[in-house]
Amino acid sequence: MSDAPKSHGRKTIRPTLRPQELMTDRPSLAQAWTAQIITLFPDAFPGLLGQSLTGKALKDGLWQLETIDLRPYGEGKHRNVDDTPAGGGAGMVLRADVVGRAVETARRQSRGRMPMIYLSPRGRPFDQAMARSLADCDGVTMLCGRFEGIDQRVLDHYGIEEVSLGDFVLTGGELPAQVLIDACVRLRPGVLGNAASTEEESFSDGLLEHPQYTRPTEWQGHEIPPVLMSGNHGEIAKWRRAQAEELTRARRPDLWAKRGTEE
């Protein structure tokens, strides 16, 4: 079994304990934020992350992606990765020994501060604050579950935090992992053309964003609010703030209440 991570991006080098890799085209992008993913479906990456701004940033080496295929760590000739749940019940569970071996590889290959996360509907709800905190790390390792999930002992043994993308159940952790990566990568320096856009968007100030408009100035009888066409930046800022507050109060009383306590 190869320990080498499958990398997606401009360069694929990572300093490992194996000196021959340092002699080839595999030096690590030491400063690049790293998304490391343990998955049964490595070909699902980079997926949509290979497009648009995240795709360009990946090619430019502003972040890097490493997938660790779970299958080669499986048991026996068929590399089995799952088994029936202890105590009975429907479905299959990813085996502790198999996942544990992949986690060990991930730990060996990670660098700096890279929290390990298991994407799971039971986890702490993912939010913008978590995206900011992960974007400030050197990267993140994500464990993608399948079937009924992962043997609890792996999570307990390594102290892996569970993170949820919402109160719904998906078939696997790969889509949540891509969502999490997107939310983090766009906060990294140089990824978005205009850094101010992440300062003013929804959740950045505990508020939802104000409505946005662009040309044409009149469409189907609907006009752009006149204040936005006035050129008066003070009035525009005031209008946007009022709209953001009104929207947040109406749509997300939970966020509004939280703001009050944090100020």
Ligand X SMILES: C[S@@+](CC[C@H](N)C(=O)[O-])C[C@H]1O[C@@H](n2cnc3c(N)ncnc32)[C@H](O)[C@@H]1O
Residues that bind ligand X (CB under 6 A): 119-122, 144-146, 148-149, 164-166, 168-173, 176
Q: Rounded to the nearest whole angstrom, what is the least distance from the CB of residue 44 to ligand X in the complex? A: 13
3 state DSSP class of 138: coil
CA–CA separation, 47 vs 146, rounded Å?
18
Q: Rounded to the nearest whole angstrom, what is the least distance from the CB of residue 90 to ligand X in the complex? A: 9
- Residue 169 annotated as binding site: yes
How would you classify the pairing of strands 63-69 and 33-39?
Answer: parallel
Q: Rounded to the nearest whole angstrom, what is the least distance from the CB of residue 164 to ligand X in the complex? A: 4
3 state DSSP class of 68: strand
Q: Rounded to the nearest whole angstrom, what is the least distance from the CB of residue 145 to ligand X in the complex? A: 2
For the CA atoms of 229, 234, 236, 239, the dihedral, rounded to the nearest 10 degrees, stands at -140
- Residue 260 annotated as binding site: no
- Residue 41 annotated as binding site: no
Closest to ligand X by CB, 84 or 197: 84
Separation in Å, CA 50 to CA 28, 45, 64, 232 = 19, 8, 11, 40
Tokens, residue 95:
């085996």
Judge residue 19's burial from the number of C-beta atoms within 10 Å of its C-beta, 0-12 exposed, 13-18 middle, 19 or more buried: exposed
Closest to ligand X by CB, 92 or 247: 92
- Residue 91 annotated as binding site: no
Is the C-alpha dihedral spanning 146, 148, 151, 155 positive or negative? positive
CA–CA separation, 226 vs 25, rounded Å?
57
Q: Rounded to the nearest whole angstrom, what is the least distance from the CB of residue 141 to ligand X in the complex? A: 14
Closest to ligand X by CB, 1 or 170: 170
Q: Rounded to the nearest whole angstrom, what is the least distance from the CB of residue 67 to ligand X in the complex? A: 15
Contact 85, 33 (CB under 8 A): no
Closest to ligand X by CB, 128 or 243: 128
In the bound state, the residue with its beta carbon closest to ligand X is 145
- Residue 165 annotated as binding site: yes
- Residue 166 annotated as binding site: yes
Residues annotated as binding site for S-adenosyl-L-methionine?
145, 165-170
Residues annotated as binding site?
145, 165-170
